[in-house]
A and B are shown apart, each in its own frame.
Chain A
Amino acid sequence: MPSWPEKPRLIGKSIPRIDGLAKASGKIKYPSDMRPEGTLFGVMLYSPHPHAKVTSIDTAAAEKMPGVKGVVVIAKAGATLRYHGDDIAGVAAETEEQARDAVRAIKVDYEILPHVVTEEDAVKPDAPKIVPSGNARKGRAQTTGDPEAAFKEADAVVEAEYSAPVITHVCLEPHGLTARWDRDDAITAWASTQAVGATAGELAGRFSIPVTNVTVLTEVMGGGFGSKFGADVWGLTAAELSKKAGGRPVKMFLDRIQEHLAGGNRPSAAGKVKIAGKKDGTVTAVVATTSGTGGARGGSNFPFPYVYAIKNVSREHTEIFVNGGGARAMRAPGHPQGCLIMEAAMDDLADKLGIDPLEMRLKNLNDGDKVVDANGKPTISRAGIYREQVPIGAKLIGWENRKPRGQNGKGPIKRGYGMALHQWGGGGTAVNKVTCTISPDGSVELKTATQDIGTGARTILAIIAAEILGLEVKDVISNIGNSTFPPGQGSGGSTTSPSMAPPAFNAVSKARDEFLARVGKAINEEPADLTLQDGKLDVKGKAVMSWKDACRKLGMMGVSVTEGFAEGLASGGVAGCQFADVTVDIETGVVKLNKIVAVQDSGLILDMLTWRSQVYGGVIGGLNYGLFEERVMDPGSGLMLNPDMELYKLAGLSDIPEIVVHAHDTPEMRARGVIGVGEPPTISTAAAIGNAVTNAVGVRVNKFPMSPMNVLNALNAASNKEGKA
């Protein structure tokens, strides 16, 4: 069984990403930068109403507008538009300005239908039914043990409600692609996607052409976070417009407004939780009625209970439908929601029991939860990983400075600490292939149809090849982002690295073996005596020629090997914990982050620099969720009020506190092989911040984000309650 080198030269070091300078100098071309010859500009017409029926649509005037080369109607007469931003039509014209004018010239008559856009309104008895079966779809309660009996025997019971709003992905490069018909059965598309293969499949399927005739190119792309896995309606519309225009390329990228409205979102989450425990900190029961909205098509469920082993559990989830854009996977789908509700309830129970919430968490870990080793066997205790990580994080944040809730001094400025635990799966899949080609000129190329969504996937492939061939990372060409290459992983679920590293390792190792066999023959040496290091070929440990000279010995034919997955090089299933230190002004409700600590395992880390960036990025994503982000829907008009980057709040540089990233990079973790890290570090940040704010101000702030309004409302509600009591 293959294994990673025990003393690697490059793997695990901090290596700048190989496309970093091209990105930082503005020279690399993103799909939205491409303007192949003859490009037409596409613009979408989308619904200005939250719920309406198209009674008629007339494109005649639009088609006659200057520069217009095609109009495609998506929502024909009779079609129902289910949210502000739903697709109606697409236009292609010589300039984007002309296409925008033409979109405005499309005459649409609507029959306005009643709408509901908030969870609260959707479940009112007199709410208009926006789906025939009703706006609330109650799941069956899942019960284990006997929660009611456990509540009776408990030393403390807490009942509370917690919630977090819908947030949107806000990919900086909008969704979209440029499509060109190369001939009547072939398409090239430059797409901003997390899955070149799936996007090619969707285009081929839509037009009934062989998928091998569709080339989807994504050299780099500007962020997806789970929302870019296909061609989408607008991408297919671009291809259709291109066909109408005799194959001329049509460039169709969403504007910022529709990007917010239709490009995906993380569903909201709310939970009514009753949790009980014993004086020793054992959590004995939890009953949760949860809900959320993923827009008009659902998808709001999330894992709950989360992380902890609780004997008596009942949980029931209700899917709420509203006239909002559809949810899509967003960085660790479901987990941040489950985490922030569970971890808030854990803290509230610990507070009532009068014990340290850190100790209570350690006491309730799930010792039956085993994650897999590199051979795919569930032999590693996740609880064991938490037990190592939590004390490290506690030390780094200064947990000993934490005071019990509400004991943070008399002045208006309160400091508080909070923590939360998370977990993720994210193993590799075994269906991918990588081709490694060593050419007589000394060049080395890896080829596969995966893509780099900003994680550094391109760089880790080059690191693996350079490690095995004794070269530098810059000597390797990592050729990805092309759907016609050997099949590669779609970048979701933190699966890219564990899926692609093993075939890369295999392909390069076998290419090296063939290379040494052929060079050995050419120079009359035993291949077993040949090794590669420092850019040279060694015979019995002595350098005899440069890598380039050795490659010339191949003659006319290079070495090219395509290989797939192998056991022993990757696994999945991680733990992780985060801590927050905050200061809250209880007069203004403003939360200031002082410090966040993230302790994260992810098996064998291939590039420490890009790995750390991903963890920082996860924390900052979680910080946005915890403090700032919210899709604000107007109940009256049914429109999103903040589809921009001004009132849809995201952190800027001054909002970033000290962030301490601790790689849980132990020999045991390294032996697990490669595991992805895109998602885990974003899960528990918001939960930890919520707990820190609550610890600071002395009352549970139960609504995310931890905005001044939500903090002040929580303080106000608590003082009203006290006043009444």
Chain B
Amino acid sequence: MAEHDPTKPRPGTSRRDFLRGSGLAAATAVLTAPAVAALDEAKAAAVEDGPKVLSGELPITLQVNGHEMSCKVEPRSTLLDTLRHRLDVTGPKRVCDRGSCGACTVIVDGDTVYSCTTLAVSCQGHEIRTLESFDTGATGVPHAFHQHDALMCGYCTPGFVTACKAMLEKNPNPTIEEAKRGLDGNICRCGTYVGVLEAAMAAAKAMKKEA
């Protein structure tokens, strides 16, 4: 698993990017200490890399599940739509399209990212993993979801499986409370949560046996 390199900006919405994008970086309201620190960080970053203007159709190459994949996107194209509509990587699903439900979760440089709110152009040079690349054997997360019937219609399942995988890579021994928190960024409508939690705990156990 790739560790996130803190010197390399991560795609997706970080607090720093958000503040810079929202124009808050220029604001002079009364702010809490952490907010002031983030603002300073954002101002420094703005000077450091400056905004780039992209337009029209752009050829990009993404590293997806260990393969180089190329296509043309617009600057506004999300990573999710690029994967699904241009590269036929359809494991991640488009559900809320606003970073609320987690169905589009992918792993970028080891961290979970809502691909529906991440621009494809920002993901070049980063390692993107989707659940299609996960081990489907007896010690893998998909197997645990299957055995514990942690899915019904299955449309939220890719997001849960991905979030679970990323959580276990960072924390191989989650408590039940930690597992719940780790999967709280995902919504299921069929109501498979009982199976999901069982599967997450079983996957942790199975991964330990393998190690």
User: Which residues of chain A have a CB within 8 Å of any CB of chain B?
Assistant: 16-17, 19-21, 23-30, 32-33, 35, 41, 95-97, 170-174, 220-223, 225, 255-256, 453-456, 609-610, 612-614, 616-621, 644-646, 650-654, 656, 659
Contact = CB atoms under 8 A, between A and B. Distances in A.
B161 interface: yes
A494 to B, nearest CB: 14
A651 B193 CA distance: 9
B152 A613 contact: yes
B96 A645 contact: yes
Contacts of B143: 21, 24
Nearest to A611: B149
Interface stretch (B4-12, B47-55, B98-106): B98-106
9 contacts: A21-B136, A26-B90, A26-B158, A96-B85, A170-B189, A172-B95, A454-B152, A645-B100, A652-B185
B154 A28 contact: yes
Contact of B101 (A27, A613, A645, A651): A645
A17 B190 CA distance: 15
Contact of B193 (A41, A222, A656): A656
Interface of B is mostly: loop
B202 to A, nearest CB: 12
Interface of B: 74, 76-77, 81, 84-85, 88, 90-98, 100-101, 103, 130-132, 134, 136, 141-143, 145-147, 149-158, 161, 180-181, 183-197
A221 B183 contact: no
Contacts of A453: 153
Contact of A454 (B101, B153, B161, B196): B153
B31 to A, nearest CB: 24
A172 B101 contact: yes
A619 B192 CA distance: 10
Contacts of B84: 33
A645 B153 contact: no
Contacts of B97: 255-256
Contacts of B95: 172-174, 256, 645
Most buried by A among B97, B189, B192, B194: B189
Contacts of A223: 152-153, 155, 189-190
B149 A644 contact: no
A29 B93 CA distance: 11
A97 B76 contact: yes
B147 A16 contact: yes
A644 B100 contact: yes
B73 to A, nearest CB: 9
Given A24-B151, A30-B90, A644-B98, 5 more contacts: A20-B145, A20-B151, A223-B152, A256-B95, A612-B149
B81 to A, nearest CB: 6
B112 to A, nearest CB: 15
Given A30-B155, A172-B95, A652-B187, A24 B103 contact: no
Given A613-B195, A646-B98, A24 B189 contact: no
Contact of A16 (B146, B157, B197): B146
B180 A654 contact: yes
A16 to B, nearest CB: 5
B190 to A, nearest CB: 5
B154 A23 contact: yes
A358 to B, nearest CB: 26
A448 B191 CA distance: 27
Nearest to B101: A645
B153 A25 contact: no
A653 B197 contact: yes
B142 A21 contact: yes
Contacts of A659: 194
Given A24-B142, A646-B100, A653 B180 contact: yes
CB-based closest 7 A-B pairs: A26-B91, A620-B191, A222-B155, A454-B153, A23-B154, A617-B191, A454-B152
A172 B158 contact: no
A24 B146 contact: yes
Contacts of A41: 85
A616 B85 CA distance: 34
A26 B135 CA distance: 12
Given A41-B85, A656-B193, A20 B149 contact: yes
Most buried by B among A35, A610, A614, A616: A616
B141 to A, nearest CB: 8
A612 B190 CA distance: 12
Contacts of B96: 256, 644-646
B92 to A, nearest CB: 7
A599 to B, nearest CB: 16
B191 A621 contact: yes
Contacts of A456: 152
Contacts of A220: 153-154
Given A23-B157, A24-B142, A653 B149 contact: no
A654 to B, nearest CB: 5
B149 A17 contact: yes
A614 B152 contact: yes
B98 A653 contact: no
Contact of A620 (B90, B145, B151, B193): B193
A709 B204 CA distance: 39
A26 B131 contact: yes
Contacts of A618: 191
A645 B190 contact: no
A617 B192 contact: yes
Most buried by B among A25, A30, A35, A174: A25
Most buried by B among A170, A172, A613: A172
B161 A24 contact: yes
Contact of A616 (B101, B145, B154, B194): B194
B187 A619 contact: no
B84 to A, nearest CB: 7
Given A21-B136, A613-B195, A617-B191, A27 B91 contact: yes
Contacts of B190: 223, 454, 613, 617
A174 B103 CA distance: 13
Contacts of B155: 30, 172-173, 222-223
Nearest to B199: A24
A225 B155 CA distance: 14
A378 B95 CA distance: 44
Contact of B134 (A19, A25, A35, A614): A25
Nearest to A255: B97
A645 B100 CA distance: 6
A20 B146 contact: yes
B151 A654 contact: no
Contacts of B94: 32
B27 to A, nearest CB: 24
Contact of A222 (B77, B88, B154, B180): B154
Nearest to A17: B149
Nearest to B95: A172
Contact of A35 (B85, B131, B191): B85
B195 A616 contact: yes
Nearest to B81: A96
A524 to B, nearest CB: 44
A256 B189 contact: no
A222 B153 contact: yes
